[in-house]
Structure 1
Amino acid sequence: MQPLPRYWATVRRTVSFPQTKEYALTIHGASDVSVQEAQRDAEQRMERLIAAGGPEQLGSSGVEYYPLRRLPEELLEEVRAEGGALVAAITRNRYGSAVLNTDAVLISDVDLVDRSRQDVVAAGGGLLSRLFGGGRGAELSAQERDPDAFGLRSPGRRGEHHARTLALIDDFTARHPELGVRTYRTRNGFRLIITGTGAGPASERARELMGQVHSDELYMILCRVHDSYRARLTPKPWRIEVDRFEDLGTRTAADEVHRAWVERYRKASAEVAVCRLIGSTGPAPSAVEQLIIDLHDRAVRAESGLRLA
């Protein structure tokens, strides 16, 4: 894979477009070479955005505003195969989670529908029954109160979507016996690591395969634009009662406030996992694919049985 950016620069402009409102635009540029090259990249991205007619015109221009506004991510680690080739990189995203970036395996996240009010009531019992002892609210286990945190099926609409998604994954693996498929349960859905595809993140083949499992459309766009599959390796801060990294106002690892946040986040992450392995089918992965899988599974604590966050 191509090296991820080590240097970032930001361009901000307030621009008025014909027949549209005034926009305060922010574009980030990146480079693996220098800050100066990152600055040029940011300026070129800004010019493309302006030439396209602004954010409201991008749908018809083929230029996507969200990926053009990619946010700076601290490069934490590069992962190389035995021969020295770069096969993955780990970055810190805008809210502080570590993210795996790779083109060696296809990664697809599939979100479940949000829990409805009725689903929550079904899980916890009604208010009156909890107040006056007529229901099971007080004696519910942690798994019953929040089944998603333990990788279990929720009641109601979300639970039905859970079952349909598992059936969809089973159908996908049956139709693609040539592919290795590892299925994980995340806090909010499922993650698939698919081996043997030979499909680059920006390829039509990748888009086709991810579409078959109903992967998120925005995720597919980001894979195409950044030419990398992405998988969160550590918890979302708000799920472990830690403030968001972006609220610090700094992205410099040398800053004390940055280091203090990382230590606080690390301690709060100690007793949770990101996803849970629930199945594996198909041929054995290659050596490089296995390297990525092992890294992923260690980081997310896939077989720990810990609460998902």
Structure 2
Amino acid sequence: MKPLPRYWALHHETATLPEGAVPLSASGSSDLSQEDAERDARERFAALVAAGGPRKLRERGEYYPDRRRPEELLEEIFSPEGALIAAITRNRYGAAVLNTDAMLIADVDLPTEPADQSSAGSGGLLGRLFGRGRTGSVDANEEDPDLRGEPGHGRRGEEHRQALAKIGQFCADHPDLGVRTYRTRNGFRLLVTGTGADPGSPQSQALLSDLGSDELYTLLCRVHDTYRARLSPKPWRLGLAAPATYGQRAVGTKQWLKWVADYDAASADVAVCRFIGSAGPAPSDVEQQVIELHDRAVRHESGLRLA
């Protein structure tokens, strides 16, 4: 896979657009140097202005890719032959995220929101994108079946069973692919091996659509040019607020280091997903290496509460 950016820059300027003078900003990134990130930010800003500004780009569904959000690079993972096969970053709300193109990863949310849904106030795609919401203790909903990755009752339980049936049908329709299924707090995660599909490719988009991955996840895969899987809990599920700052702009500050320490301590007794089962051919050696990394991080067989 391509190296992920190590350096980030933000270019601010007031631009003259048809609607008047508008203050704009554009993010730039580079795996080479800070200067190269600043150059990239200037070029993205110029492209944004030349396209007519964010309003015009939003109308064409093209604005978000130029607003790729900075993420701190925590670790790179290499194959025994020395090829970069995955990287772990920290996203804007502080969770560790696996980035890889070694296998397809699909997140599938259940349609009905759980009682602790944490995107209140923002709602929909943007609310989930920016990760804003209420804080709430994991202990507060001790008996919630979602905490254990279980079907539950009523509509939520029926949606769980329907999703598993759909996954089973996908496995039957694609016997050449390996599929590992996990239950997350709000749905399912699938690690699909043997596809050879680059993130953002038509094949990838078709497979993600077949699996029922949501609009945001599919967009993030295309923007970041990797499949992504959250490896650590969402902070508001631990009773913590998401950090006010994120990425390399906060690295090394006392405020950021304290937040990370509090977050790590609060994460000690929870898991991210529960392993349900697998189907299809065995993964390749590289795919297996990434699967093992994922499973260690998410504590897939720990029996701990899901966050």
TM class, shorter-chain normalised?
A: 0.7 to 0.9
Contact in 2 for aligned 1:116/1:157 (Cα 8 Å) = no
Query: Deviations for 1:237-276, whole angstroms, at most 9, x for unmatched residues?
Result: 1101122123579734322222221111111000000011
Q: Which amino acid aligns with 1:39?
A: E
Contact in 2 for aligned 1:52/1:61 (Cα 8 Å) = no
Q: Which amino acid aligns with 1:8?
A: W
Q: Which amino acid aligns with 1:13?
A: E
Determine the structure 2 residue equivalent to 1:121: none
Matched, 1:165 2:163: yes
After superposition, the Cα gap between the structure-2 partners of 1:155 and 1:300, relative to the gap in structure 1 and judged at 3 Å, is same
Structure 2 residues not aligned, in runs of 5+: 116-138
Determine the structure 1 residue equivalent to 2:272: 274
User: Among residues 209, 215, 240, which one is paired with 1:211 in the alignment?
Assistant: 209
Q: Secondary structure at the match of 1:302?
A: coil
CA distance in structure 1 between the aligned counterparts of 2:174 and 2:66, rounded to whole angstroms: 34
After superposition, the Cα gap between the structure-2 partners of 1:284 and 1:93, relative to the gap in structure 1 and judged at 3 Å, is same
Matched, 1:291 2:299: no
CA distance in structure 2 between the aligned counterparts of 1:36 and 1:57, rounded to whole angstroms: 29
Map 1:78-93 onto structure 2 (within 5 A): 78-93=76-91
Determine the structure 1 residue equivalent to 2:4: 4
Q: Which amino acid aligns with 2:261?
A: E
Determine the structure 2 residue equivalent to 1:233: 231
Matched, 1:48 2:47: yes
CA distance in structure 1 between the aligned counterparts of 2:267 and 2:223, rounded to whole angstroms: 30
User: Among residues 185, 188, 195, which one is paired with 1:187 in the alignment?
Assistant: 185
Determine the structure 2 residue equivalent to 1:302: 300
After superposing the two structures, state which structure 1 stretch, 51-60 or 222-231, moved more: 51-60
Determine the structure 2 residue equivalent to 1:100: 98
How far 1:142 moved relative to its partner? 8.6
After superposition, the Cα gap between the structure-2 partners of 1:46 and 1:156, relative to the gap in structure 1 and judged at 3 Å, is farther
Determine the structure 1 residue equivalent to 2:33: 34
How far 1:61 moved relative to its partner? 4.2
Contact in 1 for aligned 2:92/2:247 (Cα 8 Å) = no
CA distance in structure 1 between the aligned counterparts of 2:298 and 2:160, rounded to whole angstroms: 21
Q: Which amino acid aligns with 2:35?
A: Q
CA distance in structure 1 between the aligned counterparts of 2:240 and 2:114, rounded to whole angstroms: 26
Say how many residue pairs are matched: 284
CA distance in structure 2 between the aligned counterparts of 1:104 and 1:54, rounded to whole angstroms: 35
Contact in 2 for aligned 1:248/1:257 (Cα 8 Å) = no
After superposing the two structures, state which structure 1 stretch, 242-251 or 284-293, moved more: 242-251
- For the aligned residue pairs, the C-alpha RMSD in angstroms reads 2.2
Q: Secondary structure at the match of 2:244?
A: helix
After superposing the two structures, state which structure 1 stretch, 106-115 or 143-152, moved more: 143-152
User: Among residues 238, 243, 246, which one is paired with 2:244 in the alignment?
Assistant: 246
CA distance in structure 1 between the aligned counterparts of 2:244 and 2:86, rounded to whole angstroms: 24
How far 1:83 moved relative to its partner? 0.6
After superposing the two structures, state which structure 1 stretch, 280-289 or 222-231, moved more: 222-231
Contact in 2 for aligned 1:202/1:223 (Cα 8 Å) = yes
Structure 1 residues not aligned, in runs of 5+: 118-140
Rg bigger for which structure? 1
Q: Secondary structure at the match of 1:245?
A: coil
Determine the structure 2 residue equivalent to 1:13: 13
After superposing the two structures, state which structure 1 stretch, 210-219 or 253-262, moved more: 253-262
CA distance in structure 2 between the aligned counterparts of 1:16 and 1:188, rounded to whole angstroms: 44
CA distance in structure 2 between the aligned counterparts of 1:54 and 1:287, rounded to whole angstroms: 46
Bigger RCO (CA 8 Å, 6+ sep): 2
Contact in 1 for aligned 2:8/2:248 (Cα 8 Å) = no
Q: Which amino acid aligns with 2:57?
A: L
Contact in 2 for aligned 1:251/1:258 (Cα 8 Å) = no
Contact in 1 for aligned 2:98/2:229 (Cα 8 Å) = yes
CA distance in structure 1 between the aligned counterparts of 2:11 and 2:261, rounded to whole angstroms: 31
Matched, 1:255 2:253: yes
Determine the structure 1 residue equivalent to 2:119: none
Contact in 1 for aligned 2:113/2:186 (Cα 8 Å) = no
Q: Which amino acid aligns with 2:12?
A: R
CA distance in structure 1 between the aligned counterparts of 2:190 and 2:211, rounded to whole angstroms: 9
